[in-house]
Structure 1
Amino acid sequence: MARRERKTTAGARTLLAILLCLPLSLLGQVDHPAGSAPPPQTSSPNPAPGSHPPTLDDTIEAVDDEAGQPARKLVNWNEFDLKFTTFRFGAGFLYDFAAFAQDAASKEQIEVHPTPKIRDDRLLFRGLFKTDRNISWSVGILYDVPTKKWLFRQTQVMIATPELWGDIVIGRTKEGVSLNKVMIGYAGWTNERATFSDAMLPILADGVKWLGYAPKKHLIWNLGAYGDRFSEGQTFSTYAHQVAGRVAWVPLMSEASEKVLHIGFNLRYGKPKDEMLQLRTRPEVFESPYFLDTGKFPATQTRISGIEAYYRPRSLLVGTEYFFENVKSPEKGNPSFNGGDAFISWLPTGEVRVYNTRGGYFDQISPLRPVFSGGPGAWELAGRFSYIDLNSGPVRGGKFWRITPVVNWHMSDNVRLEFVYGYGSLNRFNLVGKTQFFQTRVQLQF
């Protein structure tokens, strides 16, 4: 046991060393004076319909990382200027419907039925302290549909630390692995993240995270250390402690050409809670049971590594991610799992998906001509191929791939309708079953 602990600690120290040494090469490359925050990008807080907003965003604050904040304000009565902080509250709501068409083998594997369900229902609170140093805060409260409980989600304080080329986040936050996992959940080009993301990459953790940005080097990074002292019992808490980091190189980032090229590398070390691990995922349908499931098995350590690449020429966006998970489990032959996706998104109405230069992710679509201002809204045509393999030695969680064409109608910054078709193949229980998925979603937020 002691030897295993030493190996886990050594792996975590390696990751810490890599990312902590990275900024040392950046001395003299800071674009703003030490001790002062970088100048925020000047843009209208509530752009007029038809105006073309900037395609790069150089600002970052503590915010709920799943629901986010719309670019245009729907109302003003939810904002207050208090003595010591600003205060804003909002809400997010998702309602889904899913239907299925299964062949005989798929029904024998796992039978599913048409289901409407509330996907997400949360309250959001955020603000900016009135201090010399930029300190923002956020509180997210989610109604968890599976457990039927109100739970705290992203609840954090973000402190600007230009001396360290970025910001420090303290509290319940995203671990920071995978661009698609880091970006706001309500902003995705598909209604659900890919199977590999849900199975292999935990979304939240309690701890401390460092966000860094070196524009002259074209580098963005984040590094976090987390534990489960306050999150024990939460559905997202499956690790006793973990260290996670991401480094992105962005050699092309131009407002003039509206082009972005992002290449990122991810690494994560973790110790599963109670030294037991279980990887499972739904088939990118929240209303479905789990299609893939390894079951619980002994594991003292996991190492997750992955690569991500995204290219955005104006209204087109293409990207891919692929991840590998190696598990220390002598009882199961030290299994390894893998999965990834590739997608394309196009906005024929002319919008450009904004790239956040300090966080290294893409933001929500803001229609140039919202429906409620007499325009067509923003239409988005997207397609994704995803794959996951949870079979390794005696661990037989299954293999699954899915093709997913999507039509998104962003009626305004606050209303979005999604129309999704999917065709998937599950290899499990010595059967290969095919399923067609028919999904819709109503998304509301303010």
Structure 2
Amino acid sequence: MTLRHAIAAVLLCGCGTNALAYDLLGDWPTKWKPAEGYEFGFKGLYQYDYNRFSGDTNNPTNGAELLPDANAWRRKEFNVYGKLPGGWDFNVGYDFTVSGFKTTPSGAGVHGKWIDNFIRYSNKEAGDFRIGQFKTPVGWEETISSSATTFLERALPVQAVNMDRRIGADWTYTGIPNWLLYLAWFKGGDLNGDNDGDGPAARVVWNPFNRQPGAGSREESNVLHLGLAWSTEDRDATTDGRGVVSNPAARFRARPEAGLTNRLVDTGNLAFPGTIKRLGLEAAYIHGPLLLQGEYLTVSADPRGKPSFEGDGYYVQCSWVLTGESRPYGKGAIGNVRPMHDYGAFEVAVRYSTVDLNDGPVYGGKEDDLTIGANWYLGQHFKLQANYIFANSTKRYGAPIDGDVDIDPRLFEMRAQIMF
């Protein structure tokens, strides 16, 4: 048994799975091809997180614990997919864990949610046409698979600005060399009964150069990604199962780059927000084991009877694969490192992110985080991550303070990930 086999077996057995039943080096037997042009299978992503806070962890108004330590499943995603002759494919996906986060011993509020559910038609000349529920384009880091993020959680401005998944239709075209074009219309909220609203979205990506040598080549990868994403949205009133109508509202907020805790910056609900506009600028450079990546994001709204609101933020990050591999890139997305060695691949990373949700009478707060990270890729299916975050936030609190307060926690977090 190789080192990678041994480590993977220990990890899987620790999660209650018989690791020795699988080929840990190659593809797991999760797909079936009954005839030419047909393929059916399932995919999974399981992530277990450990979060520990220090420093400022209490609510300044009442002393209650604001940032409790936690360890829980972050994701338990399961997808069934199929590919059919003629360019058709489909996906049905559900996350059995994450909708509320387990911050109490009883796990109150924890339930599942629908994720990617769509039907798609692909044509080399015309592009890809998709209808269903899927991720929205503004906030590039959010569109990258949750299994492939450099850090445990998305950066502050991405959390605050991105629309999450919505029901709609989109078109992706890569027929022009070095370009990716994307258009979408989102209508009707999401399959989980949230985010009622509609509007268009677009994205364009340009790769001035995109060299990715094949396996075994000594030539280094060399990729430049430049992108622009935009959307507008008009929120609708919602009616729950009891017939209670809630007025249109928008809310922009972010967790301190930890998934199992509360938020330090939050605008609260902005009633009758008018047209919400989002804009994102993307850039990344991959050269051998080096990855440089960043985004600038802005969001605006026009609440009825109140001054307009605008929030913005950015992040910049750098990673280096110590074992020499490159991060793969394709169709405007960055993937996980594919280890070349029996012991896997090691990556170190650093990120600075900031978001400002204060504007006029809206006191959503400001926060900036500095994160140091390390990743260990164990073959195709296993990944271990560790982050240490220096978070610094300022937000206005009500009585008895009635003023701005700094909350500056420190966070150590770890994740064990299994994917197939």
Q: Structure 2: how far apart are the matches of 1:302 and 1:368?
A: 45
Q: 2:306 aligns with which of 332, 351, 354?
A: 332
For residues 232 and 187 of structure 1, do their structure 2 counterparts lie closer, same or farther at Cα, with a shift above 3 Å needed?
closer
Contact kept, 8 Å, 1:71 with 1:366, in 2: the verdict is no
Letter in 2 for 1:148: V
Matched, 1:111 2:66: yes
Correspondence 1:314 to 2:288? yes
User: Is the alpha carbon distance of 1:167 and 1:72 closer, same or farther for their aligned partners in structure 2, counting shifts above 3 Å?
Assistant: farther
Can you list the C-alpha shifts for 1:151-176, whole angstroms capped at 9, x where unaligned?
Answer: 32101122113332x21111111122
Deviations 1:237-296 (A, max 9, x none): 324112111111110112354100111111110012322111122111111112111111
> 1:122 Cα shift?
1.5
Q: Show the counterpart of 2:155.
A: 194
CA contact (8 A) 1:105 1:434 kept: no
CA positional deviation for 1:72:
6.4
Q: Deviations over 1:380-416 (max 9, x none)?
A: 1011001001111111110000000000111221111
Identity level (%): 24
Distance of 2:343 and 2:395 partners within structure 1? 44
Give the aligned residue type for 1:368: M
Aligned partner of 1:395 in structure 2 is 362
Between the aligned partners of 2:130 and 2:250, the Cα distance in structure 1 is 28
Structure with the higher helix share, 1 or 2: 1
Q: Matched residues in 2 for 1:292 and 1:221: separation? A: 33
> 2:258 corresponds to which residue?
285
Answer yes or no: is the 8 Å Cα contact 2:267–2:364 preserved in 1.
yes
CA distance in 2 between counterparts of 1:414 and 1:424 reads 31
Does residue 121 (structure 1) correspond to residue 76 (structure 2)? The answer is yes
Alignment of 1:184-263 (within 5 A): 184-216=145-177, 218-228=178-188, 231=191, 233=193, 237-255=194-212, 257-263=220-226
2:139 aligned with 1:178: yes
Q: Measure the CA separation in 2 of the matches of 1:72 and 1:155.
A: 29
Per-residue deviation at 1:307? Answer: 0.6
The answer to whether the Cα contact below 8 Å between 1:95 and 1:117 also exists between their aligned partners in 2 is: yes
Match of 1:168 among 119, 129, 144: 129
Aligned residue number for residue 392 of structure 2: 425
Match of 1:440 in 2: 414
Q: 1:285 to 1:232 in 2, by over 3 A?
A: closer
**Kindly tell me: are residues 249 and 383 of structure 1, through their superposed partners in 2, closer, same or farther at Cα, counting changes over 3 Å?**
same
- How far has the Cα of 1:227 moved from its partner? 1.1
Letter of the structure 2 residue corresponding to residue 315 of structure 1: P
Unaligned runs of 5+ in 1: 1-48, 50-69, 370-374
Q: For 1:379 and 1:250, how far apart are their aligned partners in 2?
A: 27
Q: 1:39 aligns to what? A: none
The 3-state SS of whatever aligns with 1:427 is: strand
> Is the aligned partner of 1:80 residue 2:40?
no
Give the 3-state SS of the residue equivalent to 2:225 in structure 1: strand
1:296 is aligned to: 269
**Further displaced range: 240-249 or 222-231:** 222-231
Matched-pair contact (CA < 8 Å) for 2:58–2:66: no
How far does the alpha carbon of each residue in 1:166-192 deviate from its partner, in whole angstroms, 9 at most, with x for none? 211111111222331211111000010
- Over 3 Å counting, the alpha-carbon distance change for 1:271 and 1:75 in structure 2 is same
Contact 2:95 2:115 (8 Å CA) reproduced = yes
Q: Give the 3 Å change call, closer, same or farther, for CA 96–134 of structure 1 in structure 2.
A: same
Report the aligned-residue RMSD. Answer: 2.2
- C-alpha distance 366-247 of structure 1, shift in aligned 2 (>3 A): same
Aligned residue for 2:115?
Answer: 153
1:38-53 correspondence to structure 2 within 5 Å = none
| Counterpart-to-counterpart distance in 2, 1:281 and 1:96 | 18
Alignment partner of 1:93 out of 21, 46, 58: 46
SS, match of residue 177 in structure 1: coil
SS in 2 for 1:251: coil
TM normalised by structure 2 equals 0.82
Q: 2:174 is paired with a residue of what secondary structure?
A: strand
Partner amino acid, structure 1, of 2:251 = Q
What pairs with 1:353-364 in structure 2 (closer than 5 Å)? 353-356=327-330, 359-364=331-336
The answer to whether the 8 A contact 1:95-1:119 is kept is yes
Letter in 1 for 2:340: L
Tell me how far apart the structure 1 counterparts of residues 226 and 295 of structure 2 sit (CA, whole Å): 10
Change (3 A) 1:73 1:206: farther
CA contact (8 A) 2:58 2:67 kept: no
Q: Which AA in structure 1 matches 2:348?
A: L
Residue 65 of structure 1 corresponds to none
The partner residue of 1:380 within 347, 350, 373 is 347
How far did residue 200 of structure 1 move? Answer: 1.2
* Higher relative contact order structure (alpha carbons within 8 Å, sequence separation ≥ 6): 1
The code of the aligned residue for 1:381 comes to: V
Distance (Å, rounded) in 2 between the aligned partners of 1:331 and 1:179? 33
Unaligned runs of at least 5 residues, structure 2:
5-22, 101-108, 214-219, 238-247, 397-403
Indicate yes or no: 2:340 matched with 1:368: yes
Quote the offset at 1:113 in angstroms. Answer: 2.1
What is the TM-score when the length of structure 1 is the normalising length?
0.77
Deviation at 1:330, TM superposition (A): 4.1
Alpha-carbon distance, 1:231 to partner: 2.6
Q: 1:276 aligns with which of 249, 256, 259?
A: 249
Match of 2:93? Answer: 140
Number of aligned residues = 363
- The SS at the match of 1:186 is coil
